[in-house]
A and B are shown apart, each in its own frame.
Chain A
Amino acid sequence: QSALTQPPSVSGAPGQRVTISCSGRSSNIGVSAVSWYQHLPGTAPKPLIYVNDQRPSGVPDRFSGSKSGTSASLVISGLQSDDEADYYCATWDDSLNGYVFGTGTKVTVL
């Protein structure tokens, strides 16, 4: 199952803004909505963004998502220490007839 491509890691100081990219193909991001998840090992993943740019209730507006063509991005503004976690994008893939996750990005707060 081909994964979506994310940078392995990003980092920033408290208060800064970081961007996580998610690169796919015409069969997945090109035609389907993207969602984003925050995951701390040993816990349940938490949805942050759905349908490209929508936030579930309770998710701070420091988290924002966007999509263009076959790529998507998650922006975390005003970085906080408890944002340290792994982040994954996900979408449906028409050619695989299934869902695909990104390779994952570890966010470190310096």
Chain B
Amino acid sequence: EVQLSESGGGLVQPGGSLRLSCAASGFTFRDFAMSWVRQAPGRGLEWVSSIYGGGVGTYHAESVRGRLTISRDNSKNILYLQMNSLRADDTATYYCAKLEGHPHREYYFDYWGRGTLVTVSS
């Protein structure tokens, strides 16, 4: 059974840093692209970033480029999101999701975690 479990969320001051982790199990982690998707309070889903199986290809939304960075450790089956220079509008529940299909135009998010809440506030 595929399982994705996020951790690392919490309260951080504006300008601060946080690292989110997503522990994956139930599939061959290194063979699949992974993503982070977030949902701000009262708002819709927003794609944040994606990384391909070997970790070579990464993509980030314009709103987070240069501040949030996706990475992975295929030896530990863990996906990361390093979050720097955090702003109030980064406050959201962050979901880890597995990608399935043919990149990019036929990919979809086939498994999701339950999310971890990041609150950026002084």
Contact = CB atoms under 8 A, between A and B. Distances in A.
A101 B108 contact: no
Interface string B79-114: 000000000000000010100110011111111111
A1 B115 contact: no
Contact of B63 (A1, A31, A33): A1
Nearest to A54: B108
Contact of A44 (B44, B47, B105, B114): B114
A25 B107 CA distance: 18
Interface in A3-24: 3
B contact face: mostly helix, strand, loop, or mixed: strand
Interface in A24-57: 31-33, 35, 37, 39, 42-47, 50-51, 56
A44 B110 contact: no
Contacts of B50: 98-99
A86 B111 CA distance: 17
B110 A101 contact: no
B81 to A, nearest CB: 15
9 contacts: A35-B108, A45-B37, A45-B97, A47-B109, A50-B106, A96-B62, A99-B35, A101-B37, A101-B44
Interface of A: 1, 3, 31-33, 35, 37, 39, 42-47, 50-51, 56, 86, 88, 90-92, 96-104
Given A33-B105, A50-B108, 6 more contacts: A31-B105, A32-B106, A45-B112, A50-B106, A90-B108, A97-B59
